[in-house]
Amino acid sequence: MGKNAIEIEELEYSYGRNQVLKGVNLRVPAGSIFGFLGRNGAGKTTTIKLLLGLFRPDAGTCRVKELDSQINPIIVRRTVGYMAEDQQMYGWMRIEQIIKWVASFYPNWDEDFTSRLLEMLELPSKSKVKTLSKGQNSRLALLLALGHRPEVVILDDPTLGLDPIARKDFLRHVIDLLQSNGVTVFFSSHLLYEIEPVADHVAILDKGVIIKSAKTEQLRESIRKFIFTPKQQADFSSVPGILDLLTSGDNVSVTLEDCDEQKRAAIRRLSANGIQETALNLDEIFEVYVIGNRAKGKRE
């Protein structure tokens, strides 16, 4: 994979007294589709705005293609294709006008590619932006983000407000356009099921810090849920890496990270009889990391 397309180090940012980012560290490998997960208000959009050099961080650095966002914000924005969440554009412009207008900011704008995109995304070039549906608006925003053939594409909750069909349609276009030609995609969302099929790496941002960053497949492999009936006086503190512990009647459900044979053996020692082991999907993984009950110790 080689170099990283995006590097964030010890990034801190506050809105007044409210510290939103508390030392974010992130590395996005070049050519990857990177899912940036977090709840609403976790700091995803702030991180992206810092990446684009729109805000000045309190501490830390952001680099896109080895360019510091604070030192070279204009070059960074020229390198990146950015689609904001619920992107609002100028309603009085016609589609052909807004394309021409955005193109004039980019010396390397590809007109042939844009024409093909216009056809592929089924956008009526003579229509005014204010007359477009939400789905068409998102597709136009995608076209405007890709027209200069950027090496890095940042999509900030791009399907926000779209109905399920429009969302799937949009994601299909994203995959068709980006997966094939080695573009790095930094995809921020709180809708995990839309990231799961496309992302090869994910990072989870919660309360201003990255709580997990790994390859999607590796994450799915290493996190396991065990359901069993524990022995009397079972001491769960002997099992390291508990992400979630739930009791339901006589049974407990324990979710472990970095699950290996040693941890499985520790769980077996706590069980009164058989153990049921299951893998988790990204939605469940996100849930255990963000709202998981990590209470350890003796079960009462």
Give the HSE-up count for residue 239: Cα atoms under 13 Å, Cβ half-sphere.
31
Tell me which of 44, 63, 65, 77 binds other proteins, using CB under 8 A. 77
C-beta closer to other proteins: residue 88 or 273: 88
Query: Which region among 102-110, 183-191, 211-219, 270-278 touches other proteins (by CB under 8 A)?
Result: 102-110
Q: Going residue by residue from 43 to 62, which x/- string records binding to other proteins, judged by CB under 8 A?
A: ------x--x-xx-------
List, in sequence order, every beta strand (DSSP E) within 30-178. Answer: 33-38, 59-64, 67-68, 80-83, 152-156
> Among 78, 207, 296, 299, which residue sits at the site for other proteins (rule: CB under 8 A)?
78
**Residue 88 makes contact with other proteins by CB under 8 A:** yes
Q: What is the dihedral of CA 31, 33, 37, 41, to 10 degrees?
A: 70
Among 1, 3, 71, 90, binds other proteins (CB under 8 A): 90
Whichever of 92 and 193 has its CB closer to other proteins, that residue is 92
What is the footprint of other proteins within residues 105-124 (CB under 8 A)? 105-106
Structure tokens of 81? 């294709």
Query: Rule CB under 8 A: is residue 86 a binding residue for other proteins?
Result: yes
Structure tokens given for 225: 């849920």
Cα–Cα separations (whole angstroms), residue 16 to 24, 76, 165, 268: 18, 26, 40, 50
**Size of site (CB under 8 A) for other proteins:** 21
Best CA proximity match to 32, nearest among 171, 219, 189, 199: 199
Reading the block at residue 9, the tokens are 């180090």
Binding part of the chain for other proteins, among 77-85, 230-238, 252-260, 284-292 by CB under 8 A, reads 77-85
Nearer to other proteins, 84 or 118 (CB): 84
CA dihedral 26, 30, 32, 33 (to 10 degrees): 60
Rank residues 87 and 189 by Cβ distance to other proteins and give the closer one: 87
Angle, CA 174 vertex, CA 114 and CA 203 arms, to 5°: 135
Q: Which residue lies nearer to other proteins by CB, 101 or 193?
A: 101
- Which of 101, 122, 260, 279 binds other proteins (CB under 8 A)? It is 101
- List for the chain the helix, strand, coil content (%; round to 5): 35, 35, 35
Residues 6 or more apart whose CB falls under 8 angstroms from that of 146 comprise 81, 113, 117, 153, 177, 178
- Which one of 73-81, 233-241, 266-274, 285-293 is the stretch in contact with other proteins (CB under 8 A)? 73-81
Pairing of strands 251-256, 271-279: unpaired
**Residue number, 55 or 113, with CB nearest to other proteins:** 55
Is 159 a binding residue for other proteins by CB under 8 A? The answer is no
Q: Return residues touching other proteins (CB under 8 A).
A: 49, 52, 54-55, 74-75, 77-78, 82, 84, 86-90, 92, 101-102, 104-106
